[in-house]
A = this chain, B = another copy of it.
Amino acid sequence: MASAEGLHAARSRGRNTRQLVHEVLRSRIVGLELEPGSAVSENDLAAELGVSRTPVRESLILLADEGLVDIYPQMGTFVSRIRERDVASAQFIREALECAALREAVGKATARDVAELRVLLTAQEEADRQSDMEGFFQLDEEFHARLMAASGHASAWPVVSQAKAQLDRARRLSLPLTQQMSLLIGQHREVVDLLEQGDLDRADASLRSHLRLVFSDVEKIRAKHPELFSDEDTPLKPRRDSARRTASRGDG
């Protein structure tokens, strides 16, 4: 992959190595490129990305703070399994903040806000037609972010985004059901319509049920991919991957 070169190429654009590595890793984890439970070694990542261990380590500390990796000193760092508690917590946070923002946005959102939201809806429909799941995910993220921005609380979005990351890992597995996309888009449209009409309570209810649908998806996924989840309060056995690197030696 060109991630190593891309890293240094983009580095000149103001962001330092730590931030670059952080973004790369976060993207890989949320995008399930790095599966829950898999080990992420400072050394391996540093070697792969062509940087030293320091920025990698600092990124991992930030990711641990976000709940995306678990660091066990002297044992290893592992992509965190999806925990029942974390998902419920993330859903609660997201619902509370997005709905509260929407309630404030009603009567405050400008015509321009609504117009920009509708542009995103159109783009989402296009992504649906092309079965572009990755594109839809990004547009979905932007839609919800702008919805919050319309309330004047754009600066609270990072908090939602962080909570959302926990949910998105699971959602990534569920969405292949393409029919879901059009359903979600319809709900988006309903929210925008009600926002424009100034119907506060129905807009709130609409967004809330939309978010809960997403939440219920996660539960379905759990049945299909239990290995990505963790019930335990003490998942203290991440188990080191015993595939020795001597395998490349081919002895034997």
Contacts and interface: CB of A to CB of B under 8 A. Distances in A.
B85 A155 contact: yes
A89 B149 CA distance: 12
Nearest to A71: B16
Interface string A128-153: 00000000000000000000000001
A92 B86 contact: no
**Number of identical protomers:** 2
Interface stretch (A5-13, A31-39, A57-65, A195-203): A57-65
B156 A93 contact: yes
A156 B89 contact: yes
A233 to B, nearest CB: 11
Contact of A92 (B62, B153, B163): B153
User: Most chain-B CB neighbours within 10 Å: which of A57, A92, A156, A163?
Assistant: A92
Interface string A60-76: 01100100000001000
Given A61-B62, A62-B61, A153 B100 contact: no
A153 B65 contact: no
B89 A93 contact: no
Interface of A: 16, 18, 57-58, 61-62, 65, 73, 85-86, 88-89, 92-93, 95-97, 99-101, 153, 155-156, 159, 163
